Amino acid sequence: MFLKPLFDLFFPQICFGCGNRISYKVPADFDNLRQQKLWEINRYLCPACLENLVVLSDDICPKCGNPLLASGCPHCTKTKFVFTAARSVFLFDERTQRLVHGLKYYSFLKIAPVLAAYASLYLENHWKWQKPDIIIPVPLHKVKFRERGFNQSAEIGRWLAEFSSIEYRDDIILRNRYTRTQTSLGRKERHKNVKNAFDISPKHSLKNKTVLLLDDVFTTGATCNSLARLLIDKKAQQVFVLTIARPS
Ligand SMILES: [Zn+2]
Ligand SMILES: [Zn+2]
């Protein structure tokens, strides 16, 4: 094809996971857009790194989705989660970390639909509950949004909504005032910070709705838990959390 060599010249294909050069053959045809996006992970990860991706479907905490340790779940012993359950598609290892960071910090927005396609597949194959009615992305701190220009969770959420035919809403959770970014805060402070930071738009009814909160990475779960509490207060029937990755 005429354009292909030019494309390679400008975007040499290097594996996000290990830095090796990637060579691949683009299939002639795809059945649908999701299938194409699932395949596109081959542009970012070499076959060896792809094979080592860990999907978190078994041996996880039934509540928060953390990989189970012999001592139980380190999160659920510390926090009383109010969401029905949280799940993550992948283990946050060096490969998935670099994919997520590529999207987040290097603005590789083309990674968003690829990650969303895998999230959609996860909903199809590993979701034990009813299909969510609405996908809501976890909002990004205003300062970070200004710096970054986009919210990575919204970018992924929009595509996930399309691939899984679920309503997408980013106008339901509102940030109601300036808050500190979470990074420098301890666990308790984080909870308080988040509780004060958000509001639910009065324009929407969540009655009898099953909500899926979408975020890129699950760390302590504090933000998602506080958001879930707000949504439940506004009569959401169930709130689930789905993230692309989480560390063990
Ligand atoms: Zn690799
Ligand atoms: Zn747990």
Number of the ligand closest to the Cα of 23: 1
> What amino acid is encoded at 215 in this protein?
D
Percent of the chain at pLDDT exceeding 70: 87
19 occurs within a structural domain: no
The count of other CB atoms within 10 Å of the CB of residue 77 is 9
pLDDT of residue 193: 64
13 occurs within a structural domain: no
Which residue, chain included where needed, has tokens 């542009």? 43
- Number of compact structural domains in the chain: 1
18 occurs within a structural domain: no
33 occurs within a structural domain: no
Q: CA 193, 64, 164, 129: dihedral to nearest 10 degrees? A: -130
| CA–CA gap between residue 151 and residue 160 (Å, rounded) | 14
58 DSSP 8-state letter: S
CATH number for 103: 3.40.50.2020
Structure tokens, 246 = 């989480």
23 occurs within a structural domain: no
Q: How many angstroms separate the alpha carbon of residue 217 from the centre of ligand 1?
A: 21
| CA–CA gap between residue 208 and residue 229 (Å, rounded) | 15
Describe the strand order of the beta sheet including 210-217 as a list of residue ranges. 85-91, 238-246, 210-217, 134-137, 167-168
Q: Is-contact 245 91, C-beta < 8 A?
A: yes
**Structural domain of 98:** 53-178+187-246
What is the tally of helices (H) and strands (E) in the chain? 9, 7
Query: Element (H or E) spanning 10, and its range?
Result: helix 4-10
Q: How many angstroms separate the alpha carbon of residue 41 from the centre of ligand 1?
A: 11
94 occurs within a structural domain: yes
Q: How many angstroms separate the alpha carbon of residue 18 from the centre of ligand 1?
A: 4
170 occurs within a structural domain: yes
Number of the ligand closest to the Cα of 80: 2
pTM of the model: 0.89
Q: How many angstroms separate the alpha carbon of residue 66 from the centre of ligand 2?
A: 5
Could you read off the pLDDT of 180-221 as tens digits, one per residue?
566 666 666 666 666 667 888 888 889 999 999 999 999 999
30 occurs within a structural domain: no
